[in-house]
Amino acid sequence: MNHAPSTIAGLYYTHPACLEHDPRTRSPGHPDSPQRLLAIEHALAARSWPEWEHREAPAAGVEQLELVHTPRHIREVEQLCAAGGGALDSDTFVGERSFEAALRAAGAACAMARALMAGEVRVAFCAGRPSGHHAEADRAMGFCLFNNVAVAAALAIARLGARRVFILDWDVHHGNGTATAFYGRADVLFASIHQMPLYPGTGALQETGAGAGEGYTINLPVPPGSTEELWLSLLEHVVLPAALAFEPDLLLLSAGFDGHASDPLAGCCLQSSSFAHMACLLRDAAAEAQLPVGVVLEGGYNPQALGECVRDTLAALGGQGEARRGAPWLEQTARAAAVLQAHWPLATP
């Protein structure tokens, strides 16, 4: 990889088509509205960051999607959209324009991976809709059509020269689709911090991978009401030590912001500053390992809070703020470390 210096803080990928995916046309009151992206753009415009270069997301090709998804699944989504839209499951709806939006969201992640692996920049963000981390190889679910971050990771390994990719998912819902995609593989380390119990009901601590992938899945469930103290503790003492020991070539973040205290779909108590603190830790770990960082938008259903969280996360990834280290060893952290020490060199309290 060529890691030439860059004069910009990062790349920001999006496309107008992502605003045209609107599940509310089929399900009034659906939480995944285009207003989510508009709120992000409004929050970023208010901060005026000219050093982030905006790029139009290309459409992903079928050959890229098939790195993760079956041809049957891709056809099913395309045909339903072409027929005017409908329901893929009880809470995942599409309209006529949703297929292009999904191609652009996945294409943004692929273009981001290419730019990062080519050394154009050290950090990039994909503001795409629909989200992806619940989508499985042959199934759309949880508002997700194609698994954007999984496609980017698979592309990086299959076509872009990456030997190993680390994916962190801090969406409050478990990224079951991403976990399943790589559950039997040793070239992708997947770590998720998520609320449990909560949709989709997967992601127990004991689910650590299978076969060649044993140990390469790190699930860190947290109870409702969890605050940043626990999230920072798990990130500092479990996730990042394992990630650095894994020695990846690329770090991808499934950035859901529905762990925010005001989010209507979950019960954790993070603030926008909490995501900034986590991003600072992630940024410094990536710098230590000389890793490029790619961020893919997932959930977050209070638009104002979402805009603030993305703004503060991008500011941190771009270099603002100092990482807060020395998080306490909590009961959940010690329990997770005890389970995962069989696979990773984790300290004990």
Q: How far apart are CA 286 and CA 106, in angstroms?
A: 23
Asked whether the predicted pLDDT for residue 5 surpasses 50, the reply is: no
Asked whether the predicted pLDDT for residue 64 surpasses 80, the reply is: yes
Asked whether the predicted pLDDT for residue 40 surpasses 50, the reply is: yes
Asked whether the predicted pLDDT for residue 1 surpasses 50, the reply is: no
pLDDT for res 8: 80
Nearest to 312 by CA among 108, 125, 68: 125
**Range of lowest pLDDT (24-33, 46-55, 149-158, 276-285):** 46-55
Q: How far apart are CA 24 and CA 31, in angstroms?
A: 8
pLDDT for res 68: 98
Domains of the chain, CATH where assigned: 10-340 (3.40.800.20)
**For 97-116, how does the pLDDT look when each residue is reduced to its tens digit (9 = 90+)?**
999 999 999 999 999 999 99
pLDDT for res 159: 98
pLDDT for res 313: 97
Q: How far apart are CA 219 and CA 209, in angstroms?
A: 10
Among residues 69, 73, 133, 134, which one is catalytic?
A: 134
134 is catalytic: yes
Q: Characterize the bridge pairing of strands 123-126 and 92-95.
A: unpaired
pLDDT for res 4: 42
In this prediction, what percent of the chain has a pLDDT beyond 90? 94
Provide the pLDDT confidence category of residue 2 given band limits of 50, 70 and 90.
very low
pLDDT for res 348: 83
Element (H, E) at 167: strand 165-169
Would you call 272 helix, strand, or coil by DSSP?
A: helix
Residue 276 identity? A
Provide the pLDDT confidence category of residue 34 given band limits of 50, 70 and 90.
very high
DSSP 8-state code for residue 60: P
DSSP 8-state code for residue 236: I
Q: How far apart are CA 126 and CA 180, in angstroms?
A: 22
Residue 150 identity? A
pTM greater than the 0.85 cutoff: yes
For the segment 172-195, the average pLDDT, to the nearest whole number, is 98
**For 195-237, how does the pLDDT look when each residue is reduced to its tens digit (9 = 90+)?**
999 999 999 999 999 999 999 999 999 999 999 999 999 999 9
